[in-house]
Structure 1
């Protein structure tokens, strides 16, 4: 199965952040932002944004003279023995913070061995998770998560998935015509969030953005009660901007 990867905003941010981390790692006694900028070619404003994100995530720390050194979170992720647990905890911290920032339940999903998996999520009393009344694995045609993941596959990969999962009508808004769904997936720009406007469940709207590391296909998604639908596009844009730390954690 071939993948259809195109660079997204989170991808570019994560790649730039990795260049910054590599530069910092090469200077065990610390390196100033001016030198980081010179070595990476990043302009002052762009670098400042990335350094703020990296400090918040614990990947770099600033020492007394203003220089940057590698942070504790980076050390934990780089340790082979602790990596899986450290990655799970780091991603959970990040999506918990996204939940609070965006004001919506947040989901991290992966496409593994031809199936949709929700690997982690963050909800709360004020940001309830969607009620999984139909297994997410078999309802990819109706969810923002499913459409984002399928959108990252090539045409044959999408048809293979749909051949194994019947496109059931879950609400009056659900697309059940394969040709129509494939057409919409093919026309979806990778940099624009995929939306689910009560296609999976009446009373819930969702959005998803792709986060692809290496050959894996993944996405970050949010859900809101329909009475907050007016916030969906703004929340989706915030989700897109906030996806870079998750992608970065997976790429380290």
Structure 2
């Protein structure tokens, strides 16, 4: 009977000491498992255990133990005597790609924050809810404080109104049944009927501007973006005293919207 997989998962290799003290302790079995995964990844059609052990520089018995463990955990699959990457490894790959795409989105939004001198937001409408997904701000350009849940107050801010305006009537009604209109400042729309009338008058491609409907002393604008079948928005906010900066900032952002959309075309898996 083969030794339990756990018997090869408890080897500890102390790291060498450095000028700032001991290096982090390294787990030898983890290092060996990663070398096996790397070896498998370069063989599109898979490779047998003996070849993988040789390429990873491992004794064959050790390679067998690790290959069984990695297969049990879903990181590998054994097909007709060879090992190929499994679904768990594929999920790791997708996560890495997703992270790179999100970093690209963040970089784009940070550039616009610094170029326009405003806080920048990106949000989507997903599974019947407003989902603020990315926000970039700075001490010089702070974002609007979320003092009332953005998801429950879509009627009161530019992001929510712009997203709701992209939905069909049935979806809007469904949203308002779950999140009834409630005035949260003296300038918030007063009831669902008034909101629906306002939304009906907004063109799907039109920028939405709101002043003090969500928070006193602030003005916000949201540009509608369609990412495939997903309703999305890019938004900016400024203190009400600087409202005159909204129009030129939105105009410049709108001129570059193609670049923005290209940067934002990532897999939305929230």
1:193 and 1:240 in contact (8 A); partners too: no
Q: What's the counterpart of residue 248 of structure 2?
A: 234
| Uncovered stretches (5+) of structure 1, i.e. residues with no partner | 1-78
Q: What's the counterpart of residue 155 of structure 1?
A: 169
Instruction: Tell me the distance in 1 between the aligned counterparts of 2:212 and 2:144.
Output: 11
Instruction: Tell me the distance in 2 between the aligned counterparts of 1:250 and 1:226.
Output: 28
2:212 and 2:219 in contact (8 A); partners too: yes
- Which residue, 64, 73, 82 being the options, matches 2:96? 82
Aligned residues: 174
2:164 counterpart of 1:113? no
1:211 and 1:218 in contact (8 A); partners too: yes
Do the aligned partners of residues 165 and 210 (structure 1) sit closer, same or farther apart at CA in structure 2, a change above 3 Å counting?
same
List structure 1 runs of 4+ shifted beyond 6 angstroms: none
| Uncovered stretches (5+) of structure 2, i.e. residues with no partner | 1-92
Correspondence list, 1:120-199, <5 A: 120-199=134-213
Instruction: Tell me the distance in 2 between the aligned counterparts of 1:85 and 1:91.
Output: 10
Instruction: Tell me the distance in 2 between the aligned counterparts of 1:242 and 1:93.
Output: 15
Indicate the SS of the match to 1:230. helix
Indicate the SS of the match to 1:199. coil
Q: What's the counterpart of residue 211 of structure 1?
A: 225
Q: What's the counterpart of residue 51 of structure 1?
A: none
Instruction: Tell me the distance in 1 between the aligned counterparts of 2:127 and 2:249.
Output: 30
Bigger Cα Rg: 2
2:206 and 2:224 in contact (8 A); partners too: no
**How much does 1:81 deviate?**
6.0
Instruction: Tell me the distance in 2 between the aligned counterparts of 1:202 and 1:231.
Output: 17
2:210 counterpart of 1:202? no
Q: Which has the higher strand share?
A: 2
Instruction: Tell me the distance in 1 between the aligned counterparts of 2:211 and 2:171.
Output: 24
Instruction: Tell me the distance in 2 between the aligned counterparts of 1:146 and 1:129.
Output: 16
